[in-house]
């Protein structure tokens, strides 16, 4: 498969308020390590799921890819071109589009649906005439399950599910190559979530979309993704084809996420795997394996080991020295 996007050793840090370091009048600036040395690839036509608990850094990665946050270090390659070169990031603005988690706040309440969809087309000069633009708007609305008559209405006149359909149509309006869907069903009712997931799957098949699907729910990504990246405390701890990760998780954190999903394969086997305690602060990340303070399998070696994401099976990677015991 053609490699569309490659991220190498990405780090994103945010400064927090200064504090005393112990010495009188000595100040030390601290940083939130939102993303800490993350690398991955996305191939054309596949759906890659980025999963993990809230605060693990998955949304930060998505926002970095559309220039909503700046990297501290690392590189991103799009179609093999280094986006760090001057002016290159501008080329991503059309080809990579974002679907936000909350459709209620991501749509301009003062714009009609027609304006919301037509403005991106005008910015990128995607229609030669007004008639061509109108035809594209009508086609977009039909593709997301709305009618052309909805074009003259304002966002507040729609339900949450309809708003998210408009957000999806806006992302598609510039004919992107990559869609970043940041928990697009999280703010919706359960019944509406299923409709939006079904719509995204349908659009992926009909339009050949490539997608980075961000979620905290492995039960959701099971139905839409081809491959899974599992994140914990700013790093990727496991990767692999979706079916294999769901059926046979190789990292304790993935195992715990699956155990929390109702009616998942682990629970059918009467197997439960629970972590203890709370997620550590991303300002003071534990040494060794980052999961060791919460992991029931942790040993003394886990507290000091320099754990890296390594190949553990064909197409599978995990960052854990306990993989042989988990398998």
User: Is pLDDT at 267 greater than 50 in this prediction?
Assistant: no
| E-strand stretches of the chain | 3-20, 27-43, 47-51, 73-78, 81-82, 96-99, 178-182, 210-215, 227-232, 235-241, 310-313, 316-318
Residue 105, C-beta contacts closer than 8 angstroms, at least 6 positions apart: none
Q: Which whole-number Å values give the CA distances from 140 to 92, 193, 259, in the listed order? A: 21, 20, 39
Pair of tokens at residue 103: 């459709």
Tens digit of each residue's pLDDT (9 = 90 or more) over 163-212: 999 999 999 999 999 999 999 988 888 889 999 999 999 999 999 999 99
Full-model pTM: 0.91
Distance CA 288, CA 101 (A): 33
Q: What percent of the chain has pLDDT over 70?
A: 92
Tens digit of each residue's pLDDT (9 = 90 or more) over 58-79: 999 999 999 899 999 999 999 9
Average pLDDT over all residues of the chain = 89
| Contact predicate 326/251, CB 8 Å | yes
pLDDT at 260: 81
pLDDT at 25: 45
Pairing of strands 210-215, 227-232: unpaired
Tens digit of each residue's pLDDT (9 = 90 or more) over 83-96: 877 667 777 888 99
Query: What backbone torsions phi and psi does residue 318 show, to the nearest 5 degrees?
Result: -150, 150
């Amino acid at each position: 498969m053609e490699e569309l996007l490659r991220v190498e050793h990405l780090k994103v840090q945010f400064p927090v308020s200064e504090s005393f370091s112990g010495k009188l009048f000595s100040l030390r600036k601290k940083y939130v390590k939102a993303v800490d040395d993350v690398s991955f690839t996305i191939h054309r036509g596949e759906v890659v799921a980025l999963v993990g608990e809230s605060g693990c850094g998955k949304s930060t990665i998505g926002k970095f890819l559309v220039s909503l946050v700046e990297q501290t270090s690392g590189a991103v390659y799009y179609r093999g071109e280094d986006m760090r070169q001057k002016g290159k990031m501008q080329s991503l603005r059309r080809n990579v589009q974002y679907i936000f988690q909350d459709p209620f706040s991501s749509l301009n309440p003062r714009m009609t649906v027609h304006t919301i969809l037509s403005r991106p087309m005008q910015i990128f000069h995607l229609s030669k005439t007004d008639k061509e633009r109108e035809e594209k708007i009508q086609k977009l609305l039909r593709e997301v399950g709305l009618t052309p008559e909805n074009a003259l209405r304002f966002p507040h006149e729609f339900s949450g599910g309809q708003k998210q359909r408009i957000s999806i149509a806006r992302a598609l309006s510039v004919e992107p190559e990559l869609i970043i869907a940041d928990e697009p069903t999280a703010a919706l009712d359960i019944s509406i979530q299923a409709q939006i997931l079904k719509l995204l799957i349908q659009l992926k098949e009909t339009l050949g979309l490539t997608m980075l699907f961000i979620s905290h729910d492995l039960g959701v990504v099971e139905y839409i993704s081809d491959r899974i990246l599992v994140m914990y405390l700013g790093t990727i701890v496991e990767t692999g084809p979706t079916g294999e990760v769901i059926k046979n998780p190789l990292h304790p954190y993935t195992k715990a996420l699956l155990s929390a999903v109702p009616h998942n394969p682990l629970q059918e086997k009467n197997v439960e795997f629970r972590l203890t305690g709370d997620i550590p602060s991303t300002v003071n990340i534990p040494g060794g394996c980052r999961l060791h303070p919460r992991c029931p399998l942790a040993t003394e070696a886990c507290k000091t080991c320099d754990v890296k994401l390594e190949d553990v099976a064909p197409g599978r990677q995990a960052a854990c020295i306990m993989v042989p015991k988990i398998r």
